[in-house]
Amino acid sequence: MLGLILIAIFFGVGFTFLILRISISSMFWFSKKPNDKMYVFKNQFPYYMMVLSAILATILIGFDFAFVASYYALGVYCFALLIWNFKLKHCKKTYTTTTRLIEQHHPNLP
């Protein structure tokens, strides 16, 4: 019996991780600037977390705030934050703070 419970937990965690990973990666795949990870983070992260929070709140209310549902919601939320962190930390492109230097129109004027 314990073996079946462990297998069910393993597949549940794996399936949840896979769904979260695909949903976060799709934010980068379908963005206007998929290589600019900070742009995607600033524009997509707040909306993603709001939708995820609403879904998790619905799950919690649906299961009448059971301990298992509470732990699952907390785990999903932490998984999502860790995946976003992983996607941002392993960014191969470096970005500078100066985006564009403005040249003077008349460089010979005193």
The predicted-structure confidence for 2-38, as pLDDT tens digits, reads as follows: 888 889 888 988 999 999 999 998 988 888 887 788 8
25 within some domain: yes
99 within some domain: no
The size of the chain, in residues, is: 110
Q: How far apart are CA 32 and CA 69, in angstroms?
A: 36
Mean pLDDT, the chain, whole residue set: 84
102 within some domain: no
Q: What percent of the chain has pLDDT over 70?
A: 82
Half-sphere CA count of 99, side-chain side, radius 13 A:
0
Domain extent for 67: 2-89
Q: How far apart are CA 85 and CA 95, in angstroms?
A: 17
Angle at CA of residue 103, ends 100 and 107, nearest 5°: 170
Q: Are 40 and 84 in contact (CB under 8 A)?
A: no
75 within some domain: yes
96 within some domain: no
Domains contained in the chain, number:
1
pLDDT in the model for residue 102: 61
